[in-house]
Structure 1
Amino acid sequence: MKKVLLTLLVILVLSPTLYAQLKQEGVVNRKFDFFQVGDTVQILGIKKNEVSNRTQYLVKNSYTNVLVNEDRVDLISNDFSFWEKLWFEKRALDVSEKGWQSENRQALHEDAMNFYEEVKTNNLIFEDELLYDYIYQLIFKIHPGYLLKDKNRVFHVVILKSTEPNYFSFENGMIVLTTGAISMANNEKELAQMLTECISHVVLDHNLINLNLAIRAENRARTWGAIATFASVAVIAYGNERNGTYYNFDDALNLGLAASYMTMENLQRIGAKYDQEQKALTEKVVEDFWTENSNSFNEENMLYIAKTSNTVSYTAWQEYHSKNYEYALKLAERMENFGMATEDEYLLLSKLYRRLGNDLDSNLQALTYLEEARKLAPKKLKELDLEAGLIYMRMDDLAKAQAAFQSYRSSLVDLEKAGENVQTDLKFVNQLLFRFNMDQKETTGSLR
């Protein structure tokens, strides 16, 4: 995935302009300016007259461009795509009058690249090749081809490790989705609607329009780099080295750091803090697009859950470590209900049942989940023994608790012999076995 994204970034920087400005043609039906009835004219853009509220065309002539009411020109049909038509109606006039504003677009492009480098450096990019490929397929369905920009640009995606259900886009076509946002979508349509919203903002140049040059002149150089300076160094140290599960939470995952990249202040600096008019326009664009294209997307939940399962599971673990147990349970149970749960989700379900209840049924269900995890795990997971011991302890079954804790300790000793640093975990289990008189060959079932 990293190689693919870096290749895309090189293409974006080096490629020449693909598009000349789109133009529409029309036939004059009533004389105006130097044009006679029957003349073919080039239309460079469309606008609404603020006084009369009438639609006007910007028509090119030999000397200057003139605005004329739409009833004087009959448009010749064109083969504009949905997005080309939107751009022509909403952006062509501005580009004709002001140019591409390439310097400002380049500044926003640099912000996007700085953002990407910062989140990559801080290990906040979620990697899942299947998921990325799936999202790119959706984007190609929504917006095939290149963007109408001053340079050759295509959409590309960054998935950020964060429980915040957030998504936004940069002017150069970089779409940022959080793991939390993807997990909130219940089917392909809901995810595609998020992408369509991001694509709409990019096509409509909302980031460029919102660019505040005064703020950027002062803050652009420090927008992203300063975040890592004051970010907390705390990490969620729960992962591959500790329990052998698929997800590696020792990769400096920091929920606070991830959130700091998405503050309103930072979104404002990149022009992604959209006003109500822009939001309303984007909602209308999404509605129009789905009216025409809803049949192109799969609403079958099973396939969607399979393709996004790693993100859902990852977010569930994030929510667990953030103490959002109810939502973590909802996500984990979604995986179970669709038959997608692996040993990771069953371990999480066991932990959640232990956190959320202490009756006999809850404890037995937690143990059942542990057994499912053991069946599915390709190798022994020491975390399963620790979890089982804790459950048996609360059920006052000290004999089974002893067996589970001793098995857990045995796994830790093997890891220590292999050079792993497990001293803290070993100290914990040794003290537990000693204090509850479990460090003997047999346990009578009562505390000493």
Structure 2
Amino acid sequence: MTSPITPVLTANWGTDRSWTLDAYTAQGGYQALATALTKTPDEVVAAVKDSGLRGRGGAGFPTGMKWGFLPPYDDNDPQSRYLVVNADESEPGTCKDIPLMMASPHTLVEGVIISSYAIRAKQAFIYVRGEVLHVIRRLRAAVAEAYAAGHLGPDSPAGVDLIVHAGAGAYICGEETALLDSLEGRRGQPRLRPPFPAVAGLYARPTVINNVESIASVPAIIGKGADWFAGLGTEKSKGFVIYSLSGHVTRPGQYEAPLGITLRELLDLAGGVRHGHQLKFWTPGGSSTPLLTDAHLDVPLDYEGVGAAGSMLGTRALQIFDETTCVVRAVLRWSEFYKHESCGKCTPCREGTWWLVQVLTRLEAGNGSEADLDQLLDQCENIAGRSFCALGDGATSPVVSSVQLFREEYLAHLEHGGCPFDAAASTAWAPRRQSQEVHA
């Protein structure tokens, strides 16, 4: 069987000192920039559109189309637009952008320069989560190298300036308009839209906001061609992506492959679920996506396939949980995270996430009644689709899906007066749902 692994973004991760300019250029780095500069900005935008690149931050919106939403460029106002890279990766289970920026920051820097040239932006920002100080230092060192080499700066061929900005550590700043408020020095909270960032974004100017992996994919598209990129993946989900496997898996890590690979194939590459255990449930796109089970091992991991299965591809953070995991406790931990990270701007999210934690805490402790499950679902219904941003929706996804898939496990907590996975109760109860054992 031919390995489905497609190293593009990760191709140079094993190179000695891969994060340096010398190592990157030795692997062909910045050649795509030279190619881009022989084209007009409109031709670069067209190439990204033709490639079928979709946003890698979770929503999957076509990148080239997003760039096309900018108003016409004004030659008399050269500072009229900005490129902002969303590197505020902080959702539980999501861990693709940070290793990319650590292993090969120049891939992102080159992508920023090409993308800025394409949209005619002279100023770009990379907004990084403040806690990952090692990533910030590495990015800033790479930016300094790019300036010294003449790739960045007002006198460079593209004329782009790039600033690496450290955020203050708020999950809500991963939402693009909250990120803009934070970048402007205000408290990070989602903005009311319209106007959209493409019209009035950073400093009320037209702004493009893209995820790290989206921008880092641009050099490969320009260097290898839009047709080459479009030839990978599936009909509607094109290209390669990084899948992050974590949890109860033999070899957790980053696996780069074309969109459409299945979890079964990825588990084969990762050595399977840890020896002697069975797959119970997993997340296809981080903790804010509905749970899936072993019945979904062969679902194509692309936007359409995962959507048809009732979940979302999201950030492709595949968290693997075996039969030793209490699904109620796992969902409670995620809900505590969303309650803590709610910015408090809108009532459904601010109050709703608080109440979700109260009810889940009661259920996990074995208190309450079966009616609490209906109350839990009713709370989720009053949160989803009613908040300023997607945090509220994301908080309800694991709750609703866990009740649908593992209702008996919730009831077992009530029956045993506590978590049946605790030592005192583990011999008295076993999950009724039998999962298929998965090994490499």
Tell me the TM-score normalized by structure 1: 0.26
Rg larger for: 1
Task: Return the structure number with greater helix share.
Answer: 1
Higher relative contact order, chain-length normalized (CA < 8 Å, sep 6+): 2
TM normalised by structure 2 equals 0.27
